[in-house]
Chain A
């Protein structure tokens, strides 16, 4: 067991190191000077501009040699400092991220969990009869092949504009301030609904398909045949097949939850929903490379952490993995 995790940790750490390095290098490879970009907003006399240039250079840590910048980057990372944003100057990148993450969680976690539950149930249904399979299979594949943004656009247009039921931009009404009032919460939910549905539907397709394939595989397994030969009722066979089929699905679920903080980029763009995805697009369009760098770094770290936790969880949940490591049976 120790060797297994030891190896895993080495792999994760080396991946982390490489990823952070590449991430640090991004703004350095960009053409143009981010500070000059910032300064174009400020008109002024050459001396003032020069003075501000030096000031900003210090703020962004660009006044030291490159290798030192690299070290500073790591130090800042361990302090939780992901730099300063150019677009939203003088806000810190970490502050922007922290404001955006709750929206992502609010949007994605219910979508993922509900679609997991519903999708797997439907997928398991499909394996019961051929008729069900012939309807659920194409539906599932079509849903999972649907581009997120298109579904979002369709929903925004049909239910948002044509039917006028739901709003199509922002996290809450523009005229409202965050508070614990019913008006605000209702507005929050209204704005949440369409992006939620568009994500839910596509995820649902993916889970249904995955589960359908897994269940068919399990129902064809020897232990299923043995139970049937001994006359066990269908419900027991299905229960065992379901439990065994869900295990690999759980890995997928954990992975998806792990990347919740990466946001749902195109969906947030379509609905102007202020999650990380939305901010990444803003950063791209405004050439705020520090914001991009910070967001990516945040996402990378979360993904690696999530993967690692999944590895641990899987060992606990599936006895085969656990025993396989100790050299199992004879």
Chain B
């Protein structure tokens, strides 16, 4: 098992109380698996990503464990996590466009970063150039300043930078959101390529764009309001989703060739609950078309079929 998360609880400290952004999250990722992480804005995707690698205030660790390759990650301790960061687990952040120091040449910055982590720049140089080729960037990019690059180039550079030390787990947070469609495709394919060449072992790809996940993810994890709704293979999620939320999500995707006048595009009525005082029981019940009285009790995230996890009483009862 590559990544094992058990009952992870991380809250945000605010002056009005604790926002329960991540409230008991348990899932596993196998070696070589690309898991997509999907959900609405504010459901906890980025919180999950940051919890694993960069748990800073105002985030507060409450409970749970994260194990990578059999080793427990001390996510609550900023200092001891440093030995794991970059080498074992790495991240391509949401703000990748601004992630590089604007007043340093890219090559110089890379060198200083590696040296500070006790990695020899000289020895890594040739591999770095090979990776640049892989993402179709020229070597002279190392002599440029970030401001000279386009958005797509910066994204690819950060991709190379974050994976340079071959981490076991790579977290890619909304890396295609700010790109045009063709660059999106290219970047997504590069991610797969990195996994195929075993540069990275497993990945969590965070996005609200399910169509990208359909292209590259092996499995998809759907989150809602800080809790897990469903996890299954991409195929199962897209073609036979079980959780009501997932179903509504998939059905609200536009399909190619369908005209608006023929079939109306439906969204999901209502809003996500505020997590300062989350509702008791299932957090989706307010908007769920099939909610019933048992939903006042929180449904557990259980394996209904092989490798298919759902947190819903209806589905559990159906298959019980």
Give the distance to chain A from B254, nearest Cβ to Cβ, in Å.
Answer: 29
The secondary structure that dominates the A interface is helix
The stretch among B58-66, B112-120, B127-135, B202-210 that forms the contact with chain A is B112-120
Q: A231-B82, A319-B145, A329-B149 are known contacts. Are A223 and B101 too (CB-CB below 8 A)?
A: yes
Partner of A235, one of B56, B99, B116: B116
Closest to B90 in A: A230
Number of interface residues of A (CB under 8 A): 26
Given A226-B93, A329-B147, answer yes or no on A233-B103 (Cβ-Cβ < 8 Å): no
| Interface size grouping (class) on chain B | 20 to 34
A296 to chain B, nearest CB (A): 38
CB distance from B100 to the nearest CB of A (A): 6
Whole-angstrom distance from the CB of A114 to the nearest CB of chain B?
26
Stretch at the interface among A35-43, A73-81, A149-157, A240-248: A240-248
Q: In the complex, which residues of chain B have a beta carbon less than 8 angstroms from the beta carbon of A235? A: 116
- Chain B residues, Cβ within 8 Å of A319: 102-103, 145, 147
Interface positions of A from 230 to 270, Cβ below 8 Å from B: 230-233, 235-236, 240, 243-244, 247
Q: Is A311's beta carbon under 8 Å from chain B?
A: no
Known: A319-B147, A323-B147. A236 touches B116 (CB 8 A): yes
Check if A318 is an interface residue, CB within 8 A of chain B. yes
Residues from chain B with a CB closer than 8 A to the CB of A309 are none
Residues 112-169 of B contacting A (Cβ, < 8 Å): 112-113, 116-117, 145, 147-151, 158, 162
CB distance from B146 to the nearest CB of A (A): 8
Contact at A232–B113, with CB atoms within 8 Å? yes
Q: Is B91 on the interface with A (CB-CB < 8 A)?
A: yes
- Give the contacts of B79-118 with A (CB-CB under 8 A): 81-87, 90-91, 93, 95, 98-104, 112-113, 116-117
User: A228 contacts the other chain (Cβ, under 8 Å)?
Assistant: yes
Bits for A254-296, please: 1 = Cβ < 8 Å to B, else 0: 0000000000000000000000000000000000000000000
B48: min CB distance to chain A, Å: 14
A231 contacts B104, C-beta separation under 8 Å: no
Give 1 or 0 for each of A206-239: 1 = CB within 8 Å of chain B CB.
0000000000000001110111111111011000
Sample 25 A-B pairs with CB under 8 A, ordered by A number: A222-B93, A222-B98, A222-B99, A223-B102, A225-B99, A229-B91, A230-B86, A230-B113, A230-B117, A230-B162, A231-B82, A231-B83, A231-B117, A232-B117, A236-B116, A240-B104, A243-B103, A244-B102, A319-B102, A319-B147, A320-B102, A320-B103, A323-B148, A328-B147, A329-B148
6 other A-B residue contacts (CB within 8 Å) besides A225-B54, A226-B95: A222-B95, A223-B98, A229-B53, A231-B83, A231-B117, A240-B101
